[in-house]
Structure 1
Amino acid sequence: MIKNLKKDGILKDSAYMIFSNMYSKFAAYLFYFLIPFILGTEGFGVIKGLMPILDTLVIIFCSGIPPAMAKFISGDEFKENTWIYDILKVMFIFSIFGAIFTVFLKYILGGNYSTLPDVYFYAVAVALPFSVVISWSRGVLQGNLKIKNLSKTWILENTSKVVFLVILSYLFGVVGGILSISVSFLLGGIFGIYLLSKSNLKYSFSNILKNIFSPIKEKESVKKVIYYSIPIALTTASYRLINDLDGIFILSMLGAYDNGVYGYASLLSRLLFLFASAIAIVLIPRISKSKDISYFKKATILNISIVLPALLIIFLFSKELLNLFFGISTPESITSLKILSVSAVFMSTYTICASSLQGLGYAKIPVYVLLFGIILNAVFNYVLIPNLGIIGGAIATLSSSFVVFVLIWIITFNKLKKIKNNS
């Protein structure tokens, strides 16, 4: 079995993806961690309130499409491959619409978002068209099973994001911090095209330039890919929003400084969630391949054994941790950190359960639970923040994550019980 996996390249590809995924999460954490030291609490609060919006828009208008591309490329479901270039054109069109929508978003969000300088939203808007090429190249690489090269694009993007955050933030402040995302997309896209051109897949720079300006030919194929990508995009966007909806509400209702203070607590609590993400990466393929439900038990025990001691440390030393890393320890931030840490434990368990369900073929269930959690989170934030401040945001996140945890745990337990009885 092991020899067959090695021969098929599955072990090597999995190792590449696990490493690049973990590296990307670490780099993303470092990105946020560095912002307060460069831009201060208020600047951190602004970016913490804008980045979830940027990421969600990029997913909806652009990067939700490549996984669907990969599926159709690897399956050879279309006779001609000109549709791949047609998708690139459509992604550019979508990104332009998304960018235009972003410019007017400040008036839709209202509250303190409407008082932010227009240039912040212009900087967010620029990221959408810049994300097209890197997203498209990843779809082609994944579909052709060039996993090592795919991993390289993730590593380059996230490394350049951190590097240019430091450079551009020092030069241009908050705008520079936002623009560092666009620069990382641009560099990653160029690198992705370079990797495609070197992999003998007939995707050279000249071929891309020749096809990008021609009319769309394979309209039916493009429609199939777009329709297939919609649930993927919604799922990915939901995962992104559930963790940062509180920050969006706090920036809108209370302002950038309060969101910055809250962001410190949120950032430290996220450390607990990283452990579960690492476990989930290796859990899905294992449980999917073997259908062995004992992996769920092992993953849950491993997650709890790591997370609970970390939670205890945060509870005991919340003030000291906030002082050490950010030089701030207000009663509100300390309380928020403790509450958000408990919430992170619930969401880490959700991640393990969701990964198990996905591996067993129940991929839609975690999405439905998550969408319900987002709605609850939004309602709780809207009600609690005006009355309790940033602590209200923490309670809203804890309440919704607890409901999500209970629902996913019950569903997972019932599904696993049914599988065990049928085996």
Structure 2
Amino acid sequence: MIQKLKSIAKSGTFKNSVIVLILRVLGMALAYASIILISRLFGAETYGRFALLLTTAQFLLLIFSLGLPFAIVKLTSDVNFFSNNTPQNSYLINALKAVFISGLIGGLIIFILSKVIAVYVFKDALLIPYLKTLSYFFVFLVLHKFLVEFIKGKKLFTSYGLLLYVLPYALFFIVFGVMYYKNENTTEESIYLAYLLPFLVLAVIAVFFLPIKRLKTKKTHNYNALFALSFPMLFSAAFIFISNWTDVFMLGAMVSKAEVGIYNAAYKVATIALVIINAINAVLAPKIATLYSQDNLKGIQREVQKATKIITYLSVPIIVLIIIFRKQFLSLFGAEFVQGEYALIIIAIGLLFNAMSGSVGQILNMTKHQHELKRFTIISVLVNIVLNYILIKNFGIIGAAIASLVSNVILNILCIIFIKKEFNFYAFFRF
């Protein structure tokens, strides 16, 4: 066991993952500090509204980025597409044009439909100014998402971690602090403005990581080929997102905003465990893409099984601590948030299974099996929606947590079985 741990610690995957992990932990600390700030200043209902809009923004960002952030990681990691900081064909400039236009269209649609979404979907007119503010900044969110994934594809993990995890919340505190200092009667709408404004700044910074003078090349990569790769990834990611956040959306439509806030806080605490998974996956995805382009399946098996062990060894202690000290963690948001303790336990158990299953989604996406992942996620989402509808009515936020657990287990099992059949190895944790 000790020898295995030493071998893992010496690997490039582990060393790069540590960099991303440190930045991810710092970013999470800032994110949780922002949740505590919002909850203490404005209460559970306002935080519930903010959480609901944040989830909506993340989903719309996923849709209007067209799956290109996921595709750009794979293509940029492939030496046939990107080498010596130079695109080998027009894939990068075409993708950049597409996400920019899509981001503008998305912002316009959000502005036009802001009242419909607020009043008829979430039954809360107070969400209208939130949505209108989102529409003004939406194109910058799309560009930021695309560019940080391009940076990940270049394997610049420190810059990736700073731009994705740390700086958005660091700038949020600066902007909100200035607003609050100038006007102590700051309204809740200013929270969302303070959250969105940093993405304008970060999108501009991220542009400088592009090889701007080398974007135009004589060799073309048509849009059909680009979207043939990105759209299946988009559908897979969208369905995974829906599966993960169906509970929040359906709670938003079926229970009070205070309960949404309590559930979201419980989910945020439980997902501290995801810090390990996300850090490893950030490093593993481009590595799998590179190995696959070299037809090195044994290398993929070796890296995946090594990554699964790292994820499991580091995630289990975190999940155990979260469950033991759940009340203490939740009370940081306020006394009323402790009501979410049992939901937290159920969510944490689901994340434990997710950790031990390995990076199954990354494997399928980076090895041209995005269509299979799409099918599996559709099954998971359908199960999740049905269970949420049945269980939320009877058990509230506990029912939402159970639905999330069951659908998550189903998705991971389907992926594990397919990977074994296709590549003849198990991605899940094995001693």
TM-score by length of 1: 0.75
* 1:59 partner amino acid: L
Residues 86-95 or 185-194, more deviating: 86-95
Residue number in structure 1 paired with 2:27: 27
Quote the offset at 1:260 in angstroms.
1.0
**Structure 1 366/174 Cα, relative in aligned 2: closer, same or farther at 3 Å?**
farther
Aligned pair 1:380/2:387, yes or no? yes
**Structure 1 155/241 Cα, relative in aligned 2: closer, same or farther at 3 Å?**
farther
CA contact (8 A) 1:157 1:184 kept: no
Q: Which has the higher contact order (CA 8 A, sep 6+)?
A: 2
CA–CA distance in 2 between the matches of 1:394 and 1:237? 20
CA contact (8 A) 2:141 2:199 kept: yes
Quote the offset at 1:393 in angstroms.
1.0
Quote the offset at 1:50 in angstroms.
1.6
Residues 132-141 or 224-233, more deviating: 132-141
CA contact (8 A) 2:269 2:344 kept: yes
Residue number in structure 1 paired with 2:205: 191
* 2:110 partner amino acid: T
**Structure 1 294/174 Cα, relative in aligned 2: closer, same or farther at 3 Å?**
same
**Structure 1 157/186 Cα, relative in aligned 2: closer, same or farther at 3 Å?**
farther
1:166-200 per-residue CA deviation (whole Å, 9 max, x = no partner) reads: 2337465443332344322211222123444xx67
**Structure 1 43/351 Cα, relative in aligned 2: closer, same or farther at 3 Å?**
farther
**Structure 1 128/359 Cα, relative in aligned 2: closer, same or farther at 3 Å?**
closer
* 2:116 partner amino acid: Y
Aligned residue among 321, 331, 334 for 2:341: 334
The RMSD of aligned alpha carbons is: 4.0
Aligned pairs for 1:231-270 within 5 A = 231-270=232-271
Aligned pairs for 1:339-354 within 5 A = 339-354=346-361
Quote the offset at 1:312 in angstroms.
3.4
1:350-381 per-residue CA deviation (whole Å, 9 max, x = no partner) reads: 44333455566645434432332122222221
Quote the offset at 1:119 in angstroms.
0.4
CA contact (8 A) 1:66 1:140 kept: yes
CA–CA distance in 2 between the matches of 1:142 and 1:296? 18
Aligned residue among 22, 32, 49 for 2:52: 49
1:191-229 per-residue CA deviation (whole Å, 9 max, x = no partner) reads: 123444xx67357xxx9xxxxxxxxxx999345434442
Quote the offset at 1:299 in angstroms.
4.3
Quote the offset at 1:124 in angstroms.
2.0
**Structure 1 377/24 Cα, relative in aligned 2: closer, same or farther at 3 Å?**
same
**Structure 1 386/400 Cα, relative in aligned 2: closer, same or farther at 3 Å?**
same
CA–CA distance in 2 between the matches of 1:135 and 1:331? 33
Aligned residue among 109, 116, 131 for 2:126: 116
**Structure 1 126/31 Cα, relative in aligned 2: closer, same or farther at 3 Å?**
farther
Aligned residue among 398, 403, 425 for 1:391: 398
**SS state of the match for residue 201, structure 1?**
helix
| Larger proportion of helix | 1
Quote the offset at 1:267 in angstroms.
1.1
Aligned pairs for 1:276-287 within 5 A = 276-284=277-285, 285=287
CA–CA distance in 2 between the matches of 1:19 and 1:328? 35
CA–CA distance in 1 between the matches of 2:402 and 2:190? 33
Aligned pairs for 1:217-232 within 5 A = 221-232=222-233
CA–CA distance in 1 between the matches of 2:366 and 2:208? 34
Aligned residue among 414, 417, 424 for 1:407: 414
CA–CA distance in 2 between the matches of 1:274 and 1:261? 21
Quote the offset at 1:269 in angstroms.
0.8
CA–CA distance in 1 between the matches of 2:370 and 2:25? 22
* 2:107 partner amino acid: A
Quote the offset at 1:397 in angstroms.
0.8
CA–CA distance in 2 between the matches of 1:259 and 1:390? 8
Residue number in structure 1 paired with 2:196: 182
Aligned pair 1:201/2:213, yes or no? yes
Quote the offset at 1:266 in angstroms.
0.7
**Structure 1 174/223 Cα, relative in aligned 2: closer, same or farther at 3 Å?**
farther
How many residues align? The count is 388
Residues 274-283 or 93-102, more deviating: 274-283
**Structure 1 105/35 Cα, relative in aligned 2: closer, same or farther at 3 Å?**
same
* 1:266 partner amino acid: Y
* 2:353 partner amino acid: F
1:97-131 per-residue CA deviation (whole Å, 9 max, x = no partner) reads: 21233232563573544433310111222232223
**Structure 1 43/202 Cα, relative in aligned 2: closer, same or farther at 3 Å?**
same
CA–CA distance in 1 between the matches of 2:220 and 2:115? 34
CA contact (8 A) 1:336 1:390 kept: yes
* 2:128 partner amino acid: D
Residue number in structure 1 paired with 2:116: 107
CA–CA distance in 1 between the matches of 2:28 and 2:148? 19
CA–CA distance in 2 between the matches of 1:140 and 1:306? 27
**Structure 1 231/359 Cα, relative in aligned 2: closer, same or farther at 3 Å?**
closer
1:30-78 per-residue CA deviation (whole Å, 9 max, x = no partner) reads: 3244223234322221122122221221222137335546738528665
**Structure 1 306/163 Cα, relative in aligned 2: closer, same or farther at 3 Å?**
closer
Residue number in structure 1 paired with 2:170: 163
CA–CA distance in 1 between the matches of 2:313 and 2:166? 31
CA–CA distance in 1 between the matches of 2:246 and 2:258? 17
CA contact (8 A) 1:127 1:181 kept: no
CA contact (8 A) 1:161 1:184 kept: yes
Residue number in structure 2 paired with 1:313: 321
CA–CA distance in 1 between the matches of 2:426 and 2:394? 46
